[in-house]
Amino acid sequence: MEHMGIEPGRLQFSWVSSAESTKFVSVVNEVTDIIKKLGPNDRFVKKDVRVA
């Protein structure tokens, strides 16, 4: 995805067990912070309807 031009950081992977609630919270916070810094996504958004 990043190769294709999605900003680095917008796509993230994590492995959280159902028993790891604290890890889940920290991952969510971390990802939210990074994404907020990146701002709204303008790629992969359908902006206009194209009629052929």
Partner 1 sequence: MTATIDRIKEIVRGVLTDCRVDLVIGFRKGTVAMMNEPCFIKSPDEADQLVWDSNCGINLANYLANRTGKIGIIAKGCDSRNIATHIIENKIQRDQLFIIGVPCQGMVDRRRIIAMFDGEVREVVESDGRVTVKGADFEKTLEKSELLQQNCSLCTHRNPVIFDEMAADPVEEQQNVDRYADVKEIEALDSGQRWEYFEKLLEPCIRCYACRNACPLCYCPTCFVDESRPQWVGKSQNPVDVRTFHFLRAYHCAGRCTDCGACERVCPVGINMRVFTKKLEKDCFENFGWEAGLSPDVRPPLDTYSPDDPDDFIK
Enumerate binding residues for partner 1 (CB under 8 A): 1-8, 12-15, 27, 30, 43-46, 49-50, 52
Q: Which is nearer to partner 1, 21 or 44 (CB)?
A: 44
Chain centroid to CA 7 = 9
Cα three-residue angle 18-37-49, rounded to 5 degrees: 95
Q: For the CB of residue 34, give the shortest distance to partner 1 in the complex, in Å.
A: 11
Q: For the CB of residue 7, give the shortest distance to partner 1 in the complex, in Å.
A: 5
Q: For the CB of residue 40, give the shortest distance to partner 1 in the complex, in Å.
A: 15
Alpha-carbon span 41 to 33, nearest angstrom: 14
